[in-house]
């Protein structure tokens, strides 16, 4: 089986990894422009009937709704991805994400259509979450299952790099839009530009994904063993502990990721006195460093092991969580930049090896379902409530100390879960059971 699978993997690996990275970048771009808009303009546009604080909480809550839909997307696309194939699910996830993001860009506000505006906003957000729930697992498996043995961390990092590149693109487009038009015009209509522009990106992404080949490991196992009838139930029956540990290892990364990328935009502009362009510029610079960290950690994990690299990263995350907000609260732009850069650099030590780890933890016939479930469960517990929880905790305490306690506690939980994971970098990826 290995000889059959290895040949196409070696020849197609770079092309498939690049296609997966481009598609994932577009998906994250769409997901993050929603978060930036929720932090800056959605409250007055879609929730003007409540106070400013309640409007911001509600806007962040709609951001969280997308996470609640991600398990459904992971289950549905994981099911068909393990039965029908990885490639078709990747195309569907990108199309759904593109349509929902474009819909948000042309959605009339509360002043125009009343209660239907926030209702439709939530509907589009649910579709976004559903699409992203199935996207990550499929993109990861296409890259990792095509990769030569011994370089799965490297090729999996192409998908992981879609995260910082999506951050860079989304913040860059918002930065350009917010500086090219007056503040009032940006709040009224300028924020729609990044959403509408995503349509062109989606068309390019779909064309690229249609040209890649199906995973050779999946096709070989399906020919020789057949597909599972209910892969989601099978993964819960045989690998529930692995799913929970993998999900737990991701909780802090997900929470701190969305606190940094979404909540921090609101925090910096409202509490720290930074302008929106300055805040976005600091995030852009940190995201570039994030990319380098992902690449290096993924490459190292091919040489010294995934668990060791992730363990180092999570240990550093516990310590940096203690100083993250205190550094930012100095209101010094260089120290705020250091706070952001340090946080994303450290997270890269986990994000880099993660695609390979989550693939290697599960056998081929249930791999899509297992990897998607682990990621989405970790995101629901960690990332989904994080911006709203941080907003509430700051409001209650009047400063950031409760938020710091919250993120340190999550970091400790994830560090312990990483310790519970087995080492996987020498696993035979072609195993069916």
Q: What is the pLDDT of residues 240-261, one digit of tens each?
A: 999 999 999 999 999 998 899 8
pLDDT over 90 at 1, yes or no: no
Average pLDDT score over residue span 327-331: 96
pLDDT over 80 at 292, yes or no: yes
The predicted model scores a pTM of: 0.82
* Tens digit of each residue's pLDDT (9 = 90 or more) over 371-383: 888 988 898 899 8
Task: Give the Å distances, CA to CA, from 400 to 83, 90, 257, 391, 403.
Answer: 47, 40, 17, 10, 5
pLDDT of residue 55: 80
Calculated CA dihedral for residues 328, 330, 331, 332, nearest 10 degrees: -90
pLDDT over 60 at 8, yes or no: no
- % pLDDT > 90, the chain: 37
Give the least confident one: 260-274, 290-304, 320-334.
260-274
Question: 3-class secondary structure for the chain?
Answer: CHHHHHHHHHHHHHHHHHHHHHHHHHHHHHHHHHHHHHHHCHHHHHCCCCCHHHHHHHHHHHHHHHHHHHHHHHHHHHHHHHHCCHHHHHHHHHHHHHHHHHHHHCCCCHHHHCCHHHHHHHHHHHHHHHHHHHHHHHHHHHHHHHCCCCCHHHHHHHHHCHHHHHHHHHHHHHHHHHHHCCHHHHHHHHCHHHHHHHHHHHHHHHHHHHCCCCCHHHHHHHHHHCCCCCHHHHHHHHHHHHHHHHHHHHHHHHHHHHHHHHHHHHHHHHCCCCCHHHHHHHHHHHHHHHHHHHHHHHHHHHHHCHHHHHHHHHHHHHHHHHHHHHHHCCCCHHHHHHHHHHHHHHHHHHHCCHHHHHHHCCCHHHHHHHHHHHHHHHHHHCCCCHHHHHHHHHHHHCCCHHHHHHHHHHHHHHHHHHHHCCCCCCCCCCCCC
CA torsion sign for 141, 144, 146, 149 is: negative
* Tens digit of each residue's pLDDT (9 = 90 or more) over 339-363: 999 999 999 999 999 999 999 999 8
Averaged pLDDT of the chain: 86
Residue 285 or residue 11, greater confidence? 285
pLDDT over 60 at 5, yes or no: no
Given a contact cutoff of 8 angstroms between Cβ atoms, the answer to whether 388 and 258 are in contact is no
Given a contact cutoff of 8 angstroms between Cβ atoms, the answer to whether 365 and 228 are in contact is yes
pLDDT of residue 250: 97
pLDDT of residue 4: 42
pLDDT-derived band at 306 (thresholds 50, 70, 90) equals very high
In the chain, what are the domain boundaries?
2-420
Return left, alpha or beta for 305; rule: phi > 0 is left, psi -120 to 50 is alpha, else beta.
Answer: left
pLDDT of residue 432: 44
pLDDT over 80 at 232, yes or no: no
The yes or no reply on domain 2-420 and CATH 1.20.1250.20 is: yes
Residues 6+ apart with CB under 8 A from 248: 378, 413, 414, 416, 417, 420
Q: Return d(Cα 359, Cα 426) in angstroms, integer.
A: 12
pLDDT of residue 265: 84
Residues 6+ apart with CB under 8 A from 398: none
pLDDT over 60 at 366, yes or no: yes
* Tens digit of each residue's pLDDT (9 = 90 or more) over 387-428: 889 989 999 999 999 999 999 999 999 999 999 999 999 887
pLDDT of residue 10: 52
Residue pointed to by tokens 């400790």: 412
* Tens digit of each residue's pLDDT (9 = 90 or more) over 125-180: 899 888 887 777 888 888 888 888 889 999 999 889 988 888 888 878 888 887 88
């Amino acid at each position: 089986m290995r000889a059959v699978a290895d040949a196409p993997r070696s020849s197609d690996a770079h092309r498939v990894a690049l296609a997966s990275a481009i598609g994932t970048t577009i998906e994250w771009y769409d997901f993050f422009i929603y978060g930036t808009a929720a932090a800056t303009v959605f409250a007055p546009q879609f929730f003007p009937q409540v106070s400013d604080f309640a409007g911001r909480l509600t806007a962040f809550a709609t951001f969280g709704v997308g996470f609640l839909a991600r398990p459904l997307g992971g289950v549905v696309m994981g099911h068909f991805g393990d039965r029908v194939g990885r490639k078709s699910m990747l195309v569907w996830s990108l199309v759904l994400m593109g349509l929902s993001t474009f819909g948000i860009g042309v959605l009339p506000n509360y002043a125009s259509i009343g209660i239907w505006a926030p209702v439709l906003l939530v509907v589009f957000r649910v579709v976004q979450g559903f699409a992203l729930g199935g996207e990550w697992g499929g993109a990861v498996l296409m890259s990792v299952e095509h990769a030569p043995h011994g370089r799965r961390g490297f090729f999996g990092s192409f998908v992981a790099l879609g995260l910082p590149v999506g951050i860079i693109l989304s913040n860059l487009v918002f930065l350009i839009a917010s500086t090219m038009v007056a503040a009032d015009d940006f709040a009224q209509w300028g924020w729609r530009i990044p959403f509408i522009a995503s349509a062109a990106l989606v068309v390019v992404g779909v064309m690229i994904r249609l040209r890649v080949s199906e995973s050779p490991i999946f096709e070989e196992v399906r020919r020789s063993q057949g597909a599972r009838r209910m892969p989601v139930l099978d993964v819960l029956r045989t690998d529930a502990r692995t799913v929970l540990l993998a999900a737990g290892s991701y909780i802090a990364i997900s929470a701190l990721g969305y606190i940094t990328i979404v909540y921090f935009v609101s925090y910096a502009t409202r509490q720290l006195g930074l302008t929106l362009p300055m805040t976005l510029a600091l995030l852009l610079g940190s995201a570039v460093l994030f990319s380098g960290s992902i690449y290096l950690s993924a490459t190292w994990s091919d040489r010294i092991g995934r668990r060791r690299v992730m363990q180092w990263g999570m240990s550093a995350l516990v310590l940096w969580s203690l100083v993250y907000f205190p550094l930012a609260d100095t209101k010094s732009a260089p120290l705020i930049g250091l706070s952001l850069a340090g946080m994303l650099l450290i997270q890269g030590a986990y994000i880099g090896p993660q695609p390979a780890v989550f693939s290697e933890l599960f056998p081929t016939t249930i791999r899509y379902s297992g990897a998607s479930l682990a990621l989405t469960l970790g995101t629901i517990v960690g990332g989904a409530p994080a911006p709203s929880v941080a907003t509430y905790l700051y409001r209650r305490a009047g400063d950031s100390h409760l938020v710091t306690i919250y993120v340190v506690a999550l970091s400790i939980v994830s560090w312990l879960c990483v310790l519970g994971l087995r080492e996987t970098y020498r696993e035979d990826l072609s195993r069916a059971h």
